Amino acid sequence: MQKRKLGKSGLEVSALGLGCMGLSFGYGPAVERETGIRLIRSAVEKGITFFDTAEVYGPFSNEELVGEALAPLRDKVVIATKFGFNIDADGTQHSDPPLNSRTTHIKEVAEASLKRLGTDRIDLFYQHRVDPNVPIEDVAGAVKDLIDEGKVLHFGLSEAGVDVIRRAHAIQPVTALQSEYSLWWREQEEEIFPVLEELGIGFVPFSPLGRGFLTGKIDENTAFDSKDFRNTSPRFSPEARKANQAIVDLIADFAKAKNATPAQIALAWVLAQKDWIVPIPGTTKLHRLEENIGATEVELTADDLSELDSLTAEVEVQGDRYSEGSQKLVNR
């Protein structure tokens, strides 16, 4: 597995990470604990060194799973987790307000995450969503304190806009921004990428496979589990899926010509955009993990990239990424 550095921070990770959320949360029932542990440890065996979790995934159960799985391998891996939701110590989530990045709360979350992960340091600590009620300077200052104490090594932001990134970076250098990015969601290219390049910040795309849609394994007739959040996503309504199938068909045809799968082409395309981008596709299945890792061996030429850009530009993707309530938490 190739390695990449997240911006100028010096934090080196595998070119592909593993998003662990879906093992516990978001896409249906949690996997059996032993299944999750086996998958995470298999990822390490296959060269992945970068693992992404968050307190809100569960809440708490995903951090506990990741911590247990990686305990014997701790010094070989980089663990990223997140703070920022309004969650009590007993796991109660509050919706009024839904976010909480008060400085005291950040430090409480860090201590709790360290215990759940069974580690003495959090390699990368992201603010999960920008809290409009707390100045980002205060947030960055709180993480700076944790870095000074050795409990956190690097500071990250998720779904933050240009102004927030600049203001945070002025207080405590930001190592990475995590936001959605894929062949069907490219908003970051226009304003965000130039700022990341200027400041030397890495980019960690979540949902690089379009929440599974770009794999070609989902169509308008697919029925999601009742606990799957895609049931509430406008982009995954049956009507939107039917319209958006066009982009998957184009990628699938291209993939055949390259002797690759659609998922591998979608990931290879993300990897080819910048050398400071490290996507974190998630999966619950070992054969999908192996398929995703195979994307790092797919070489796309400049002509290939140009062709993919032209093909996908033909399709206007239908549907918003999030439901109205969730969209309010995404601060651009």
d(CA 237, CA 235): 6
**214-219, long-range: CB within 8 Å, 24+ apart, which pairs?**
214/182, 214/183, 214/184, 214/247, 214/248, 214/251, 214/262, 214/263, 214/266, 215/261, 215/262, 215/263, 215/266, 216/248, 216/251, 216/252, 216/261, 216/262, 216/263, 219/245
Tokens, residue 30: 């949690």
Cis ω for the linkage preceding 59 (within 30 of 0): yes
The DSSP letter of residue 93 is B
Coil/strand/helix, residue 156: strand
Contact assessment for residue 123 and residue 11, using Cβ atoms and an 8 Å cutoff:
yes
**Catalytic center residues:** 57
C-alpha distances in angstroms, 208 versus 63, 214, 270? 22, 9, 7
Q: Which amino acid is at 301?
A: T
